[in-house]
Amino acid sequence: MRTRTRFLLLVLSILVPAFIAAALAVAYVYRDAQAAQNRGMAETARAMALLVDSELQKREEVLRALAASPALAEDRLPSFYRHAASVVSPRDSAIILFTPDWRQLLNTRRPFGTSLPTRTAANIPALMKVYGSDRALVSDMFTGQVAKRQDFAIQVPVKFDGNLRYLLTMAVSVSSLHGLLLRQHLPEGWLATVVDRNGVVVARTRSPERFVGKPMSKSTHERIAKVAETMIESRTLDGVDSRVFVSTVPDVGWKVLLSIPASELDEAPLRASALLGGLMTVLLLIGLVAARRFANRAIVPIEALATSAKALGQGAEVRYAPAGWAELDNVARHLADASTRIRQGQTEMEARVAAAIAATERAQSALLKNQKLEALGRLTGGIAHEYNNLLQTLTTALQLAAFSTREEKIKSLIQTCQRTVARATTLTGQLGSFGRLQEARRTTVDVCEQLRSAVQLMKGSLRGDVAVEVHCDEGVWPVTVEPLQFDVALLNLAMNARDAMPGGGLLRLEARNVEIDGTDGHLARGDYVLVSMVDSGSGMTPEIMARALDPFFTTKPPGQGTGLGLPQAYAFATQAGGTLVLDSIPGIGTRVDLYLARAQAEAVLAPAPDGDAPAVRGSGTVLFVEDDALVREAVMRALQESGFEVLVAEDGEAALRLLETNARRPDVVFSDVVMPGQVSGIDLAGILRQRYPGLPVILATGYTEQQVALPDVQVLAKPYAIEQLVSVLSQATAR
């Protein structure tokens, strides 16, 4: 058999099975396209149900906000009426207040004090019999007695002291849901419908004036009533045969129906299948023609290759000219390129080895810095812990003294002492810069506000010839940090920049959002806020910059620098989930980049101090666990003065013994974290969580290396104010 014939048979043996496979693929594509289309439509229906649920949730949140109104709590109904009328739009909503026996007290669709209907047109009373009065309820559609239009109602109970006082209802026009459906911009021909529990049309994207308020067919309602999600073949109220995708609005029982004409759904899979089938037929014909031409042209390069092989066997130089056949030409090219690729591979391998060595050196350098900072953090953390215990004693004693005297001179002296203790608290807070992040002092802050506040702090340390500029991008993300350490880090960097600009200059602070892909090795992949401080000073040489982050390294004369400024800033950045990067050019200036991990929560605004706030009072029994005798004596007396009955234990073991032997169990346990013995405050909280699951536990610490990983266990930072402690304990006993 000739070579040409063999090539033709070879091509046919490939194309014929491929054509059969293509036919099977067409059938599969048709079915898969239909299935994918159905899944997509079901997801769309589910999304629209969630949109309706979101709209109802917004209305419910408005009701719950009104239910918490002080005017309603104090039965000041005229004031509550004015407030409620200002909250809702009279065009589509009304606020109605009922007594528990369904007597209307006010309706924002009528002036306050006018006569009102004696009953409600909604089916809320029937729903309350099924679901009770402790949850929000959404009625089915009804015709309002006042506005005489089609509405639905959302109701929340209003309870005070555990008793049901009112039923607060929002009557909402069904036209609001019609607008919600239209905003989804569904394709022409699609129909979105919302029906209530009775199968009555509440909203509809097409001809709502004709069909809103009409019931769907009984058979269709029976098919969808008892399922959360389904797909059915049905005919719409305006007579269009459609495939209907049904999804249930969560916690309400309404249904969202997405109806697509059956002809439109079948058109896309058929079109895709026909296109694929036609394409495969054309390819088969082209393949047959190309196979014949290929067989004719394949003989020449094969014979040329045979000639070259014969010459190679005779030891002659082989000169192979490209024949236009890619496979044969590639053989010749690959032989010539092999040596080139080997040399390139060697060069690339050397570069990778060098990069790996550099990365290892960077990792070792970072590890060494972290070890130094950890050692320094343990030293300063221990000092901070002891000082915070002393400051706690002073703080509590001064507050007790302030409560016990009415003489203004003595109060003035006490306030002076309290301000001094506050300054000492700030200083001890700085001692914890190099240790572990203290969860009790963490808060989520607005970076730009923090920078502007820090600039005011910097100006006291900068000379008049140093200009400061702050530039923040719009929408900078919040970060979770210790605000004091943030201020200290910025102040340390600013003082370094000041010393690098003896003749004055410009200090620029910038903040912007960055997304890190994790390829540079400095940071993990994620979102960060980049805070940069750029000066126009003398800069640093590479030798100095390599050691700049080492604790106690300084280029300043003795007595003028501690060598802890940059290490503190580096420690702060790593505690905030980021890092610090230095870039400096001698004679040009220095740039310090602080990468801070983006916080998931929103920034917390610090509450304004209220100097005239009344003293907080408490009640109940507190088990107070504290190893420091001075702190124990001062805080115990303060708690007793605040109305608590106090049981005292000097360590964790003593607290457990007291709980086992004392017949009366305390209402709350308040314990220090760091204590002598085998049971720390965190260990004690874990044991109590297992033995007494309902017993609240509050912890306090001046500084600790341990992290509190127990849910619902609040941690107070020492020194804490007695008002703060009493408030926290009162909330715990109330729960």
Nearest to 311 by CA among 438, 201, 303: 303
- Residue ranges of the chain that CATH labels 3.30.565.10: 447-597
Tokens coding 352: 């990778």
Write down the pLDDT at residue 463.
85
Q: Which residues of 599-631 are buried (b: 16+ CB within 10 A; e: fewer)?
A: beeebeeeeeeeeeeeebebeeebbbbbbbeeb
Write down the pLDDT at residue 81.
93
pLDDT confidence bin for 31, thresholds 50/70/90: confident
Calpha distance 627→678 (Å, rounded): 13
Write down the pLDDT at residue 592.
94
The dihedral built from the CA positions of residue 11, 17, 22 and 25, taken in this order, carries a sign that is negative
- Residue ranges of the chain that CATH labels 3.30.450.20: 177-264
Average per-residue pLDDT for the chain: 80
Tens of pLDDT, residue by residue over 208-265, are 888 898 999 888 998 898 898 999 988 888 888 889 999 999 988 899 999 988 877 7
- Residue ranges of the chain that CATH labels 3.40.50.2300: 621-734
Phi and psi, residue 612, nearest 5°? -100, 10
In terms of CATH architecture, what is 177-264? 2-Layer Sandwich (3.30)
Topology at the third CATH level for domain 447-597: Heat Shock Protein 90 (3.30.565)
Tokens 């920078």 belong to residue = 451
Q: Specify the pTM.
A: 0.39
* CATH code for residues 621-734: 3.40.50.2300
Calpha distance 205→194 (Å, rounded): 9
In contact, 321 and 340? CB cutoff 8 Å: no
Write down the pLDDT at residue 362.
56
Calpha distance 298→7 (Å, rounded): 9
The answer to whether residue 409 scores a pLDDT higher than 70 is no
Q: pLDDT exceeding 90 applies to what percent of the chain? A: 23
Cα distances (angstroms) measured from residue 498 to each of 349, 534, 582: 46, 11, 17
Tens of pLDDT, residue by residue over 494-507, are 988 898 898 899 99
Runs of H (alpha helix) within 204-325: 208-211, 218-224, 262-313
Write down the pLDDT at residue 612.
42
Instruction: Kindly report which listed range (13-27, 116-130, 452-466, 618-632) carries the lowest average pLDDT score.
Output: 13-27
Calpha distance 401→722 (Å, rounded): 12
Tens of pLDDT, residue by residue over 46-69, are 999 999 999 899 999 999 999 999
In contact, 442 and 432? CB cutoff 8 Å: no
